[in-house]
Amino acid sequence: MKKLFKVTLFLMVTALLMSGCSKGNTNESSKGTTDDKNSAETKEVSLMIPEWGVPTKEMLADFEKESGIKVNVMPTSWDDIRNKISTAAAGKNAAADVYEVDWSWVGEFQKAGWLEPIEMDKADLEDMKTTSTFMIDNKLYAIPYSNDYRIGFYNKAMYEKAGLTKEPQTWDDVINDAKVLKEKKVCEYPISNPMAADEKTTTTFLWLAYTRNGKVFNDDNTLNEEATLDALTILDKINRPGLSDPANRTASGAFDKLKNGECAFMVGPSSNVMSVNDKEKSKVVDQVMPIVLPGKDKKATATVPFAEAIGVSPYSKNKEAAMKFAKWYTSKETQYKLYNALSNLPTRTSVIEQLLNEGKIKNPGAMLELAKVIETPFPNGVPIYYTKMSTEIFNTINQMANEKLTPEQAAKQMVTNVNKIVEENK
């Protein structure tokens, strides 16, 4: 009887223990399922970007297949992106895991804590010269995906019609050639450059001052007085004799005049290399040569970028996946596909070279040469007060363009007011 009781007791205890183990295993299994579900959720990221940067459905499908990360695209107007990011960040939320970062926003975004630092190896940084614009204190905060740097363009057919057989090497050449073109009635307004009270006028000042003087700002971020006066003097020499269309003082269409056959020389966005030879957009197909920017006493040795980039939100709950997408989106293979699908000029020099070798960009001229010498004009990165500073710069230039200020007066006003902004933000 005792033996039977012991056997029965043993079986009961064993059953209870097994029941407990089974229950524990069920919980672990359930927990594992939940973890797997959460893991799957982290492999989904959102991308806020203007229409011009949206990858094709096929590209996104391939990325999802390769990485297991689904990308939810949020096409958003460029003008709306900044506000959406700041509004979400005020509540410590991400407007999107990955979002558009214009070159002019990077200082403000970094200071506000809206960008996660990004690690890239030296080879990638060297291949993407425009990354210099998105670096602060030697840290990268956004990866450029759509290139835009300044290239010189001259209409060879117009020059030859005026008896000019050489491309301009210096700004003195540009101005003297323009006078000949005007006198011989080949082109009424031979040079086209922005002079209106808007951002294009500021960027014109930045690249002109930098490529002629090697600096715009001093090491303490103050405006360099000598470089400022030098650039303003050139702009005045173009404007006062009527070598540039007076309409450029109020309208924003200065860059369109090249492809419309309304000017003979312009320094403008690199995208013009493609647009001037597009039969649907241009009246000067096969007439325009992309050249190295003219300099002070010889050709310039650098150019300046104004690119678009993507950054990762520090409030993203899927940072690892977001970083993986950002690096895929700016990889060589993807940049090549983005050019073919959207005509976005790659930010990688190696991809531009590949496109040129394959003959996919017609009459590139100095495009590749300049892509290799891109430099930022900001010694300490784009400052947080850029927008306020830019407004001061373009308003002063517009006043000079309307002959309310001499170059000397404009330089003094600009340096004083910009340096005051710098001091206020120390």
Q: pLDDT tens-digit profile of 33-71?
A: 334 444 445 489 999 999 999 999 999 999 999 999 999
Whether 365 is in a domain gets the answer no
| CA–CA dist 94, 99 (Å, integer) | 9
The domain total for the chain is 2
Token representation of residue 10: 């043993």
Whether 374 is in a domain gets the answer no
Same domain, 108 and 73: yes
Domain that holds residue 97: 42-145+307-345
Instruction: List, for residues 171-191, the tens digit of each pLDDT value.
Output: 999 999 999 999 999 999 999
Same domain, 141 and 153: no
Same domain, 259 and 388: yes
Same domain, 122 and 207: no
Dihedral sign computed on CA atoms, order 141, 143, 148, 151: positive
Whether 418 is in a domain gets the answer yes
Same domain, 336 and 275: no
Same domain, 160 and 226: yes
Whether 102 is in a domain gets the answer yes
Give the DSSP letter string of 46-70.
EEEE-GGGPPPHHHHHHHHHHHS-E
pLDDT at 400: 99
Decide: residue 44, CB within 10 A, 0-12 exposed, 13-18 middle, 19+ buried: middle
Domain's final residue, options 283, 318, 345: 345
CB atoms within 10 A of CB 173: 15
User: Which residues does the chain have with pLDDT short of 70?
Assistant: 1-42
Amino acid at 216: V
Same domain, 247 and 384: yes
In CATH, what number is assigned to the domain containing residue 207? Answer: 3.40.190.10
Give ∠ CA 194-246-216 in degrees, rounded to 5: 30
Whether 25 is in a domain gets the answer no
Same domain, 207 and 96: no
- The answer to whether residues 81 and 29 touch, using CB atoms and an 8 Å cutoff, is no
Token representation of residue 25: 């295993």
Whether 18 is in a domain gets the answer no
Tell me the β-bridge partners of 334: none
Same domain, 179 and 249: yes
Token representation of residue 77: 């107007």
Same domain, 106 and 135: yes
Same domain, 91 and 219: no
pLDDT at 41: 52
Strand blocks (E) in 294-412: 308-312
pTM of the model: 0.89
Domain's final residue, options 322, 345, 368: 345
The residue to which tokens 């070279």 are assigned: 353
The residue to which tokens 């695209």 are assigned: 73
- The answer to whether residues 110 and 140 touch, using CB atoms and an 8 Å cutoff, is no
Whether 411 is in a domain gets the answer yes
| CA–CA dist 126, 118 (Å, integer) | 15
CB atoms within 10 A of CB 276: 26
| CA–CA dist 239, 246 (Å, integer) | 8
Same domain, 187 and 222: yes
pLDDT at 10: 42
| CA–CA dist 142, 134 (Å, integer) | 6
Sheet containing strand 143-146, strands side by side: 70-75, 44-49, 98-102, 308-312, 143-146
Whether 81 is in a domain gets the answer yes
- Element (DSSP H or E) covering residue 409: helix 407-424
Token representation of residue 126: 């060297």
